[in-house]
Each structure stands twice: as C-alpha cells, then as structure tokens.
C-alpha cells in the first residue's frame, strides 16, 4: 500500500545528498539511508525525509576512493572486491548514461543474481528500492539522482558479490511457510553474516520445478508474505537481521516487472535461498505469539515506524504494507517493539 512516487523533489534532493557518501561505514556496515528515504517518500512521508536524514547523518561516511576503472575486459576480476565499490558505481553510472536503464538491468541482473548474498543482502534491497522509484515515474534524466541511485545500488552489489556454494538440498514443503519452518538452524548462531553464511550447509528445496514466469511471480509473492508473517513470531531471534528474510525477496519481487520474464524463475530461486539462509543463520528455535495489530490502519503503523526511526523497522514496515494484511502489520509492530529507536 503505497501512495506513489514522490513528486515534490524531496527524494531527488535526498539522493543527491546521499550520493556524496559511500555504501558502507566502518568497512562492513551498510548505509541504509537511500533505502529508508525511498520508503518514506513512497508512503507519503516526503516532508519527514530530511529530518530523518539529519538523525541518520552521523552514520554516513565519505565516498570511497577509486582504484581503477572497471572495463569490459576485466569486470569478472573486479566482481566481489569491496575495495572496488567506487569503481563499480562509476562503471554503472557510465552504463546508465548511454543506455536505457532496463537494458542495463537486464544485462547485469543474471550476472549479479548468484551473488546476492554479499553485504548481508543489502545491495539487492537497495536495487529493489531504486527500481521501484524508476517504475513509479519518469527517471530524473541522464545523470539524475534516480538513475544515479540505481548505479550506486548495482555498483554496491557488484563490489559485495558473494555466491553461496556447497549447500545440500534437503526435503522441503509445498507452502513457503512450511518450507521456512523446515529450515535447519545453525547449531551455533554466533559471528557476523559472512561467518554464519559459510556455515550454512543445507537448505530445504522449495518451488524447484517452477519455470513459468507468472508462477514464479506468484510463488515469490507467497514467500514475501510468509517471511513477513514469520517475523511476528520469530523476530526476537535477531530483530535486525531477520528483517532481511522478508525484505531481500521483496526487493527481487519489486524488480521483476522491470526484467525480462525469462529471468523471473531464476530470481525466485535466488530469493528463496536468501530468505532460507537468513532464517538458518538467525531464527530462534521457539516462536512467540505476536500481539495483534488491532484496529490500526496501515498508514498509522507506518507513522509509528517513522517515529521509531530505525532503518530496518522502516524497511520491514514498508514490506508489510506491500502485503497489507493483519499478520504483516503485526510483524511491523513486533519490529517496532523489539528494535532500538534511531538516536
């Protein structure tokens, strides 16, 4: 449930402000501001964008230094090298200046999709927010902030590209919710995202035979709903990281309309792996009963998320409003309850 693309110019201003900063801080933590401000603008909260950015500003770092241009001859060697973030962002900036953005996305999506697990899945989430903005209206012109934001998202993804390999297929289930319940949890849920991801050795199979694009879209929608609902009962396992079990596949879902239909089924498979892996890495063994959303309207829940301020709360609430049912709103309220407010 969104109110549409911001037409006040505030989102463009915010993106221009943010593009002077890098995609990460402290060498490993993601800059969430571009995703959060896009969510705010999409839900009619453009007036709050700069106030929220002022609160988030202490977490921003300068844009990283370039190393060397990424070229058609050596891009494979640069893939997955976080030191090359500036080089990759510049590369996609050049690509988007000379070609339609959908063509650039269609070329690079299958190259990047196997590595959507790097950067704790944040790069694909950032791309999903950028694509939603572009699909919602005309781009702001070559070199404009909305196309530049897509370049930043794709460049961050290329720099943090990390495939998942050596995962044994395990018995799954027909329904997405049941398949997530069947995910085996790590015996030791310790360490950061890369360390935990390396210890994921088996995941249930889900929707393996889907090849029809429309069926892939339907199953991906089901996955986003199931993962969002599940946060209400399992978010206490790790209130921040479990958000990505829902927001990563939702970023893929938001991007599908901009992609050739032949890419929809592979996108479903990658999104399932991301959601299931996050579940294995962070979900608790014992669910809790969520508090009901009561009579709160979606816009009221989003207003509560904005007042709370945490970027992951805002993004999960954004996804919950895409679904719009009572269990999804309960998940957003659980995130507000569990998470520390933005200082």
Measured in degrees and rounded to the nearest 5, phi and psi for residue 134 equal -70, -35
pLDDT at 171 over 80: yes
Answer whether residue 4 is part of any domain: no
134 lies in the same domain as 115: yes
- Cα–Cα distance, 92 to 70 (Å, whole number): 9
Residues 38 and 143 in one domain: yes
Percent of the chain residues past pLDDT 90, beyond the cut? 92
Do 184 and 269 fall into the same domain? yes
What's the average model confidence in pLDDT over 173-188?
97
pLDDT reading at 8 higher than 70:
no
Tell me, yes or no, whether 61 and 75 share the same domain: yes
Last residue of a domain, one of 91, 124, 159: 159
Residue 310 lies inside a defined structural domain of this protein: yes
CB atoms near residue 208 (< 10 Å): 11
Other CB atoms within 10 A of residue 294 CB: 11
Q: Is residue 259 part of a domain?
A: yes
Average pLDDT for 182-209: 96
Q: Is the pLDDT of residue 199 over 50?
A: yes
Give the model's confidence band at 49: pLDDT under 50 very low, under 70 low, under 90 confident, else very high.
Answer: very high
Domain membership flag for residue 79: yes
Residue recorded with tokens 């709103």: 329
> What is the arithmetic mean of pLDDT over 209-223?
98
Listed residues 133, 159, 185: the one ending a domain: 159
At residue 6, does pLDDT exceed 70?
no
| Same-domain pairing of 86 and 173 | no
What average pLDDT is seen over the chain? 95
Kind of pairing, strands 24-25 and 168-170? unpaired
Smallest CA-to-CA distance from 95 within 137, 158, 33 is with: 158
Say if residue 118 is in the same domain as residue 23: yes
Angle of the 244-255 helix axis to the 122-135 helix axis, nearest 10: 40
Domain boundary among 124, 140, 159: 159
Q: Which domain holds residue 217?
A: 164-343
Domain membership of residue 3 (yes or no) is no
Whether residue 110 sits in one domain with residue 80: yes
Same domain? For 39 and 99 the reply is: yes
Pair 140, 21 in one domain: yes
In a domain, 22, yes or no: yes
305-332 mean pLDDT: 97
- Is residue 1 assigned to a domain? no
Q: Give the count of domains, the chain.
A: 2
Q: Do 252 and 124 meet the contact criterion of CB atoms below 8 Å apart?
A: yes
pLDDT attached to residue 1: 44
> Does 102 reside within a domain?
yes
Q: State the Cα–Cα distance between residues 271 and 254, nearest whole angstrom.
A: 12
Predicted pLDDT at 290: 80
Residues 183 and 262 in one domain: yes
Same domain assignment for residues 154 and 214: no
pLDDT band at 137 (very low <50, low <70, confident <90, very high): confident
pLDDT reported for residue 294: 78
pLDDT tens column, 247-302: 999 999 999 999 999 999 999 999 999 999 999 999 999 999 887 777 899 999 99
More confident of the two residues 144 and 274 = 274
Q: Are residues 290 and 195 in the same domain?
A: yes
Q: Show the tokens assigned to 83.
A: 């030191």
pTM of the model: 0.96
Q: Percentage of residues in the chain with pLDDT exceeding 70?
A: 96
């Amino acid at each position: 449930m969104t109110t549409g693309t911001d037409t006040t110019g505030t989102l463009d201003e915010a993106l221009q402000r943010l593009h002077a900063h890098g995609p990460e801080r402290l060498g490993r933590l993601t800059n969430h501001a571009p995703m959060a401000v896009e969510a705010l603008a999409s839900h009619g909260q453009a007036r709050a964008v700069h106030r929220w950015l002022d609160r988030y500003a202490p977490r921003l770092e300068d844009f990283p230094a370039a190393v060397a241009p990424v070229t058609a001859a050596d891009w494979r060697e640069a893939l997955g090298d976080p030191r090359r973030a500036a080089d990759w962002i510049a590369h996609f900036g050049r690509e988007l200046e000379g070609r339609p953005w959908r063509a650039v996305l269609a070329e690079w999506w299958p190259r990047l999709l196997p590595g959507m697990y790097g950067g704790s899945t944040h790069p694909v989430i950032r791309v999903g927010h950028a694509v939603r903005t572009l699909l919602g209206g005309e781009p702001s012109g070559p070199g404009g902030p909305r196309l530049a934001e897509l370049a930043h998202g794709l460049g961050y993804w290329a720099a943090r590209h990390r495939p998942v390999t050596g995962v044994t297929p395990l018995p799954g289930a027909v329904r997405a919710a049941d398949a997530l319940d069947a995910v085996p949890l790590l015996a030791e849920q310790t360490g950061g995202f890369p360390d935990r991801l390396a210890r994921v050795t088996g995941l249930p199979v889900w929707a393996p035979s889907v090849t029809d694009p429309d069926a892939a879209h339907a199953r991906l929608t089901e996955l986003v709903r199931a993962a969002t609902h599940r946060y209400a009962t399992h978010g206490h396992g790790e209130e921040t990281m479990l958000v990505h079990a829902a927001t990563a596949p939702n970023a893929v879902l938001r991007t599908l309309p901009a992609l050739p239909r032949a890419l929809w089924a592979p996108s479903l498979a990658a999104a399932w792996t991301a959601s299931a892996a996050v579940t294995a890495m962070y979900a608790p063994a014992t669910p809790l009963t969520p508090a009901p959303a009561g009579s709160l309207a979606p816009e009221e829940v989003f207003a509560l998320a904005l007042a709370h301020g945490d970027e992951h709360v805002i993004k999960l609430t954004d996804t919950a409003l895409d679904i719009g049912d009572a269990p999804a709103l309960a998940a957003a309220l659980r995130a507000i309850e569990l998470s520390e407010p933005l200082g």
